[in-house]
């Protein structure tokens, strides 16, 4: 059974084969926006200090 591969995926796969230097730039871009060190203590404080919202925001009786 053949697995579907979109035109965009085929294009990107061919592009990366022809331009291997783009892999370095791709990793740098990912590090810039996504790969950040995580502060577990800050995440825990944020979770614990979160205030629950009302079920219906505009209800003035609750």
* E strand residue ranges, 1-62: none
Distance CA 61, CA 47 (A): 27
pLDDT at 62: 61
How do the pLDDT tens digits run along the chain, 62 residues long? 678 999 999 999 999 999 999 999 999 988 888 888 889 999 999 999 998 877 787 777 76
Q: Are 54 and 62 in contact (CB under 8 A)?
A: yes
pLDDT at 1: 61
Domain ranges of the chain: 7-49
pLDDT at 54: 73
């Amino acid at each position: 059974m053949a697995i579907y591969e979109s035109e965009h995926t085929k294009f990107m796969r061919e592009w990366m084969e022809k331009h291997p230097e783009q892999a370095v730039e791709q990793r740098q871009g990912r590090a810039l926006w996504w790969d950040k060190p995580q502060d577990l203590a800050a995440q825990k404080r944020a979770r614990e200090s979160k205030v629950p919202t009302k079920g219906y925001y505009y209800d003035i009786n609750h």
